[in-house]
Amino acid sequence: MCLLGLPGLIVIPGRLIVVGDATATADHIRAATTWFRIGLASELIYPVVFVFLALALYRLFETVSKPLAMQLVAMVLLSVPLVCFGVVSEMAALVLVSGPSFLSTFTRPQLDSLAYFFLRMRGMGLGVVEIFWGLWLIPFGLLVLRSRFLPRIFGVLLLIAAPGYLLRAASSLFSAPSLDSIASVLTLGELPIIFALLFLGSRPRAVDSQVTPI
């Protein structure tokens, strides 16, 4: 999920979007339309994989706590429409910078400004999405803490990462960039669970000696 989402969420927008400059941004998109479309595809694939990840985690943790596992899935599902809304905004920006004939009544600077507006809408939408990217880590972390087949430290790190995303969302919503550096450090707590599930998750679970076999 991280590998598929990285190009569309961070890498390609970071290379094409010039903050505060609508004309330069539009010129970059016109010069690299294929890369921009690849970014759109990346952003569309990402939430699909995210949903299947949530369902896999539900099956993994439902015996630990079904209510918490359901909360995890719910937070993921709530984030998906917002990500798709951001993709629609980027598609609108792509149409505007392409200058189709039905928009000939607008000048190029006007079209570039409108395209930049839609890209800003996408950015603000991601700020809202990060609320759910933070909230889903709370039941995830609690499930890891309660489980007997993953080290508890990974649950602690997930609970540390959750407020990082919430701080980043607050930074976007309230124009407080000073929070970004703190948020970036906290969100690193999400990364270790990836390796834990890749390497530890494939091991057979130990049978609880207190449970009487049926």
Determine the pLDDT at residue 201: 61
Residue 23 lies in a domain: yes
Is there a domain that residue 16 lies in?
Answer: yes
What pLDDT does 114 receive? 95
Average pLDDT, the chain: 88
User: What is the reported pLDDT for 199?
Assistant: 79
What does the chain come to in residues? 214
Residue 209: is its pLDDT beyond 50? no
In a domain, 209, yes or no: no
The whole-number average pLDDT for the span 62-70 is: 95
Plot region of 99 (φ>0 → left; ψ -120 to 50 → alpha; else → beta): left
Sign of CA dihedral 55, 163, 181, 169: positive
Q: Comparing 165 with 181, which gets the higher pLDDT?
A: 165
In this predicted structure, the answer to whether residue 213 has a pLDDT above a threshold of 90 is: no
Mean pLDDT of 8-23: 90
Report the distance separating Cα 26 and Cα 44, nearest Å.
22
Task: Give the per-residue pLDDT at 212.
Answer: 42
Predicted pLDDT at 133:
93
* 149 vs 57 pLDDT, higher one: 57
Contact 129, 86 (CB under 8 A): yes
- Flag whether 213 is in a domain: no
176 pLDDT above the threshold of 60:
yes
Which DSSP state fits 63? T
Q: The tokens 């809408």 sit on which residue? A: 121
pLDDT tier at 203 (50, 70, 90 boundaries)?
A: low
Distance CA 126, CA 80 (A): 11
Has residue 207 got a pLDDT over 70?
no
Q: What are phi and psi of 64, to 5 degrees?
A: -80, -50
The range of the structural domain enclosing residue 32 comes to 2-200
Looking at residues 55-64, what average pLDDT do you find?
94
Q: Provide the pLDDT for residue 35.
A: 94
- List of residues 6+ apart from 128 with CB closer than 8 A: 82, 169, 172, 173
Asked if residue 14 belongs to a domain, the reply is yes
Judge whether 39 lies within some domain.
Answer: yes
**Total domain count for the chain?**
1
